[in-house]
Amino acid sequence: MEAPATETAKLAFAGKTLELPVIAGTEQEKAIDIAALRDKTGAVTLDLGFGNTASCLSAITFLDGERGVLRYRGFPIEQLAEYATYSETAYLLIYGNLPVKRELEQFTSRLADRSGLPEGMEDFFDHLPKGIHPMAVLFSAVAALSGYYPELTHPNPTREEIDSIILTLLAQIPTIAAYSYRKGNGLPVIPPRRDLSPTTANFLHMMFGPAGADGKPDEVVVSALRKILILHADHEQNCSTSTVRLVGSSRANAFVSISSGIGALWGPLHGGANQAVIEMLEKIHKDGGNFSKYVALAKDKTSGFRLMGFGHRVYKNFDPRSRILKSSCDQVLERLGVRDPLLDLAKRLEEAALKDDYFVSRKLYPNVDFYSGIILRAIGIPTDQFTVIFALGRLAGWLAHWREMLESPGFRIGRPRQIYTGSTERRFVPLAQRG
């Protein structure tokens, strides 16, 4: 994968003028290539939080935060959320094209073959502390998979091994998530079923058992989960995906690289926000529904309170995923006959914030996590499992990026620089002489 240099940028520094190549992506996004900067000038760049730094070239996801555009491999998120299955979306992200029927059948059948956990792994869940958060279980269990599949942990996996790793993780993580829920709640585990779609119906079956008369999970519930998983499936170089790439760049195995992504996702500023949103809405509800008080608190920098589910590093107009989920919320709740006061509260909170100059001037809008929790609640997912659902969706993106990175020409270990601000050289003073 290469992006051609289209023009140059001039940098004048320390009496020298440096010409730097400017490369453009297929959507005309431009980047000044500073690879020669330190060699030629002795200086590096400083970009706290990486707001202006592209860490790689990638052909997976295009995002235009100003226009609210999100496309996976060129396909608009709106179309995928409406028409695709999660397996199709995962295949698309990882392999670059929508599968034809035969490819999809083979892909889902290979996932079904691998969906049972390796022998002995079920015991893993029996030795965890009571009340452990499901994200901690997922993090540990996925890293532990490396012990069950030592043959898939080479630092330089072949293409066949890469495929096998991808299928193993895609197939087993839903099973791990469901077993962790069942064991954590003292319930017997429900083994996977190969006749159900892998990450949606099969996952719901392993979580809650047979629902309808036909023994299959409710179609409205399956479709709601499908949409949520697709909307979370990739988001270019977000915190957890960048973590997967960075850890993987040291040639650590895929199990620990993905596990590291799970750790990064858990934080409340990233995937953990979906749990935090519902906890915030519940708190406001219990407090008499006084949302104006919480809007005021979010504006007060000394309060330490943020409006969870609001704001985004890259979306500065609207988050297209949030729009889809907001309308999906109404449909799903109506079809399930659920009346959730938190939905009305969320809408009133959004309306109040969007009229407030603090939020308008900072371009803070509802993000994907603002409405997703209300749907997850309605379909019976416990609040502490919300971020696990985000991880199930994002897994396809993590794997697509991990694979793309391994196959990129010239890929090398990720290793940022820093600007040191500590003491200059000091002389060691033996303990007895320190005053």
- Distance of alpha carbon 275 from alpha carbon 308, whole angstroms: 9
- Distance of alpha carbon 405 from alpha carbon 244, whole angstroms: 10
- Beta carbon nearer to ligand CMC, 118 or 268: 268
369 belongs to the catalytic site = yes
Residues 294-333 that bind ligand CMC (CB under 6 A): 298, 306-313
Stretch binding ligand CMC (CB under 6 A), from 100-108, 181-189, 282-290, 359-367: 359-367
Least distance in angstroms from the C-beta of 252 to ligand CMC: 23
Least distance in angstroms from the C-beta of 366 to ligand CMC: 9
312 belongs to the catalytic site = yes
- Of 236, 350, 369, 404, the residue at the interface with ligand CMC (CB under 6 A) is 369
Q: 64: part of which helix (H) or strand (E)?
A: strand 61-64
**What does DSSP assign to residue 313?**
S
User: Applying CB under 6 A, does 269 fall inside the site for ligand CMC?
Assistant: yes
Q: Are 321 and 371 in contact (CB under 8 A)?
A: no
Burial class (CB in 10 A: 0-12, 13-18, 19+), 160: exposed
Least distance in angstroms from the C-beta of 328 to ligand CMC: 17
Residues 37-96 that bind ligand CMC (CB under 6 A): 49
Contacts (Cβ under 8 Å, ≥6 apart) of 400: 60, 93, 94, 234
Residues 112-151 that bind ligand CMC (CB under 6 A): none
User: Applying CB under 6 A, does 261 fall inside the site for ligand CMC?
Assistant: no
Tokens of residue 273, six digits: 């926000």
Closest Cα to residue 114, out of 160, 189, 171, 191? 171
Q: Are 206 and 192 in contact (CB under 8 A)?
A: yes
**What does DSSP assign to residue 217?**
-
Among residues 205, 235, 270, 312, the one annotated as catalytic is: 312
Least distance in angstroms from the C-beta of 86 to ligand CMC: 18
Least distance in angstroms from the C-beta of 359 to ligand CMC: 7
Q: Are 169 and 118 in contact (CB under 8 A)?
A: no
# binding residues, ligand CMC (CB under 6 A): 21
- Beta carbon nearer to ligand CMC, 88 or 319: 319
Residues 214-243 that bind ligand CMC (CB under 6 A): 235, 238
Among residues 232, 270, 369, 401, the one annotated as catalytic is: 369
Least distance in angstroms from the C-beta of 384 to ligand CMC: 17
Q: Within a 10 A sphere around the Cβ of 419, how many other Cβ atoms?
A: 8
Q: Are 417 and 110 in contact (CB under 8 A)?
A: no
Stretch binding ligand CMC (CB under 6 A), from 66-74, 267-275, 339-347, 372-380: 267-275
Tokens of residue 174, six digits: 């839903």
The residues assigned a catalytic role are: 312, 369
- Interface contacts to ligand CMC, rule CB under 6 A: 49, 235, 238, 269-271, 273, 298, 306-313, 362, 364, 367-369
